[in-house]
A = this chain, B = another copy of it.
């Protein structure tokens, strides 16, 4: 619980390597996560080799922690292993469709979060890299992911060389809905985002980016429609190529 409540993303790591048995412990914690029907349709690529991390670096938009962190974990939706087992056991797998991709991605993400909490519990720091789905096509090439395997998220792990403040969050009530969905009024929205909008770092951001509102920094700079549309095409193309879009009998 303490590890959960004190989570902060770490983007600066010490040179200290992670002991192999410690790494094994946190990956084992990942394997204890719930998975659909206990199929465990995910894989974790454990990359330590500096030259491979350097190949991955542009996939993660050059974020320095990819080469600086001792370990890079790429969590993948993976029906390849399960399909091979079915075929070797006189069973015909039907997992080349969109639902199966979502099932496998879910397995991968729950395992990832277990690994992160276990790592933080052991004094390590982590950061998720959302760039994984944006450049899934290139990551597939670098990590030699076969058909049936799609990278979903990446986590860098190492000993923290910084101690950032806890990140702010929206008021808990803002993300909760009692019994059924409670639609937000204009006033609700104003109230939910008010504290975030008056933070000192928000003012700095607005000046730096010459923007009128914090929301514009998201829509115009960080997560623009143009980028989202381009990355959507990449990801859907990857799903086709990796064999997850055969949605007919």
Residues of A within 8 A of B (CB): 1, 3-5, 7, 9, 24, 27-29, 31-34, 36-40, 42-49, 52, 78, 80-82, 84-86, 88-95, 97-100, 102-103, 105-106, 109-110, 112-114, 116-118, 121-122, 127-128, 130, 133-134, 142-146, 149, 152-153, 167-170, 172, 174-181, 183-184, 186, 189-190, 192-193, 212-216, 218-220, 222-226, 228-229, 231-233, 235-236, 247-249
Contacts and interface: CB of A to CB of B under 8 A. Distances in A.
Contacts of A231: 99
Contacts of A28: 172
Nearest to A112: B110
A169 B36 CA distance: 12
A38 to B, nearest CB: 6
A249 B36 CA distance: 35
A118 B192 contact: no
A85 B189 contact: yes
A37 B223 contact: yes
A42 B169 CA distance: 12
B102 A235 contact: yes
Contacts of A93: 219, 225
Contacts of A37: 130, 218, 222-223
Copies in the complex: 2
15 contacts: A1-B122, A4-B32, A33-B113, A44-B176, A52-B179, A90-B213, A91-B218, A91-B220, A92-B219, A93-B225, A97-B232, A98-B235, A99-B231, A142-B180, A143-B177
Contact of A113 (B110, B149, B232): B110
Pairs A-B, 4 closest by C-beta atoms? A94-B225, A89-B215, A91-B215, A113-B113
Contacts of A192: 81, 85
Contacts of A112: 110
Given A31-B172, A84-B189, 12 more contacts: A1-B3, A31-B169, A36-B130, A37-B222, A47-B180, A81-B174, A86-B218, A89-B214, A91-B215, A91-B220, A109-B113, A146-B183
B134 A99 contact: yes
A236 B228 contact: no
